[in-house]
Amino acid sequence: MSTLSEVNSPTSTDEPITTSEVKTTFSSEEIHKLLPHRYPFLLVDKIIDYVPGKKAVGIKNVTINEPQFTGHFPGRPLMPGVLIVEAMAQVGGIVMTQLPELEGGLFVFAGIDKVRFRRQVVPGDQLVLTVELLWIKQRRFGKMQARAEVDGQLAAEGELMFSLIN
């Protein structure tokens, strides 16, 4: 798994990284280097804002050709709530995998609290996923506040807990 410093490294090894060179956005190719998820389960298209150790804002473009829409629901496609939560978690994974003290290993759900769904998400929507780190304990557990919005309207929110496994 790549680290933020590897993704942010200049092409020449002679040049030191300055704070002004820290990435604040990630393309889909860069996300592939940071997360283990792949099609059809990679649910983040890009990161549009990243603050190391604090938060990330990602984009998920919801399209009709995604496999879940063949059965959820025929004639009225709705993005399943569990996939909205997973998309938020993947954005949180960008934050967690970049923490220097937590490099390596795999982050998995340890808990999901206070999750509420506020509006339906349908093909054609663009989910804006904002995840902020609340705390880290014992260098193994993290808790984040997550929000998913469509056109400025809250679609889902909740607290996500992660555990680092080796």
Q: What is the three-class DSSP state of 32?
A: helix
Q: What are phi and psi of 164, to 5 degrees?
A: -90, 125
Which stretches within 13-154 are classed as H helix? 28-34, 81-97
Q: Active-site residue numbers?
A: 72
